[in-house]
A and B are shown apart, each in its own frame.
Chain A
Amino acid sequence: MSKFKKKRGAASPAISTASLPDIIFMLLFFFMVVTVLRDSELKLQVITPQATELTKLEKKSLVHYVYIGRPLKKYQEIYGTAPQIQLGDKFAQTWEIPAFVEEHRARVRESEIPAIITSMRVDGDITMGIVTDVKTQLRKARQYKVNYSAKQRSGKLQ
Chain B
Amino acid sequence: MGNARRVSTEINAGSMADIAFLLLIFFLVTTTIVEDKGVLVKLPPWSDTPPETQQLKSRNVFSVLVNAQNQLLVRGEPVKIGDLREKAKEFIINPEHRDDLSESPKNAIISLKNDRGTKYKTYLEVYNELMAAYNELRETEAQKRFGKHYDDLGNTQKKEINNDIPLVLSEAEPTSFGEESQ
Measured CB to CB, the residues of A under 8 A from B are 17-18, 20-21, 24-25, 27-28, 31-32, 34-38, 48-49, 51-57, 60, 63, 82-83, 117, 119-120, 122-129, 131-132, 135-136, 138-140, 142-152, 156-158
Query: What is the number of residues of chain B that contact chain A, defined by CB distance less than 8 Å?
Result: 53
Give Cα A29 to B127, complex, Å.
39
Q: Is A132 a contact partner of B174 (Cβ separation < 8 A)?
A: yes
Residues of A within 8 A of B36 (CB): 56-57, 60, 63, 119, 149
* Additional A-B contacts beyond A21-B20, A38-B32, A147-B40 (15; CB < 8 A): A17-B13, A35-B30, A36-B31, A53-B135, A54-B38, A55-B39, A125-B120, A126-B120, A127-B180, A128-B115, A143-B43, A144-B45, A145-B42, A146-B43, A150-B128
Give Cα A36 to B30, complex, Å.
9
Give Cα A137 to B101, complex, Å.
35
Q: Is B44 a contact partner of A139 (Cβ separation < 8 A)?
A: yes
Q: Is A132 a contact partner of B116 (Cβ separation < 8 A)?
A: yes
Residues of A within 8 A of B117 (CB): 127-129
A157 to chain B: closest CB distance in Å? 5
Q: Is A54 a contact partner of B37 (Cβ separation < 8 A)?
A: yes
Measured CB to CB, the residues of B under 8 A from A are 13-14, 16-17, 20-21, 23-24, 27-28, 30-46, 68, 81-82, 114-121, 123-125, 127-129, 131-132, 135, 174, 176, 178-180, 182
Give the one of A31, A56, A122, A147 with max B CB within 10 A: A31
